[in-house]
């Protein structure tokens, strides 16, 4: 299968379709999806030979000291072709700082994806990833 990696954030429709393909619909708020994607530091998509988006990854953060890899998704019909590795590898290239600056790039990984990230140089360094969800008070 031929695929290409393009340097761009997915559209809201592409993001929603890929999230649905892997059962992640509940992880995202459609009301803010577009604005959230627009605030990305960088993004990449993978397209097949027909130009259809079959994978995505993006980075969020301040881009100066911290960046976090988010939303690495590959359509299940295309798993096993190295697409996730290609996406994250290119995303890290796009995040490479200039000069003598060190950028911390973090992520949360599912157990199934740990090997992908380790192959690209990510490590736990005895750290534990944690998170907390905050909800606005609006109705």
Q: Is 93 helix (H, G, I), strand (E, B) or coil?
A: helix
The ranges assigned to domains in the chain are: 3-119
What pLDDT does residue 125 have?
86
- Please tell me the distance from the alpha carbon of residue 123 to that of residue 121, in angstroms, as a whole number: 6
What pLDDT does residue 129 have?
82
What pLDDT does residue 66 have?
96
In this prediction the pTM is 0.91
- Please tell me the distance from the alpha carbon of residue 49 to that of residue 4, in angstroms, as a whole number: 8
Per-residue pLDDT of the chain (139 residues), as tens digits, is: 689 999 999 999 999 999 999 999 999 999 999 999 999 999 999 999 999 999 999 999 998 999 999 999 999 999 999 999 999 999 999 999 988 999 999 999 988 899 999 999 999 888 888 888 888 887 5
Q: Which residues are catalytic?
A: 117
The verdict on domain 3-119 having CATH code 3.30.470.20 is no
Residues with Cβ < 8 Å from 127, sequence gap 6 or more? Answer: none
């Amino acid at each position: 299968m031929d695929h290409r990696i393009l340097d761009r954030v997915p559209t809201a429709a592409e993001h929603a379709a890929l999230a649905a393909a892997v059962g992640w619909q509940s992880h995202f708020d459609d009301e803010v999806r577009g604005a959230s994607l627009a605030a990305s530091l960088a993004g990449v998509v993978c397209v097949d030979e027909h130009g259809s988006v079959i994978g995505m990854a993006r980075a969020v953060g301040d881009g100066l000291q911290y960046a976090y890899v988010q939303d690495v998704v590959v359509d299940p019909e295309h798993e096993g072709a190295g697409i996730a590795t290609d996406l994250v590898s290119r995303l890290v290239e796009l995040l490479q700082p200039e000069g003598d600056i060190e950028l911390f790039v973090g992520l949360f990984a599912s157990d199934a994806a740990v090997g992908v990230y380790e192959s690209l140089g990510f490590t736990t360094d005895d750290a534990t990833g944690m998170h907390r969800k905050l909800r606005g008070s609006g109705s």
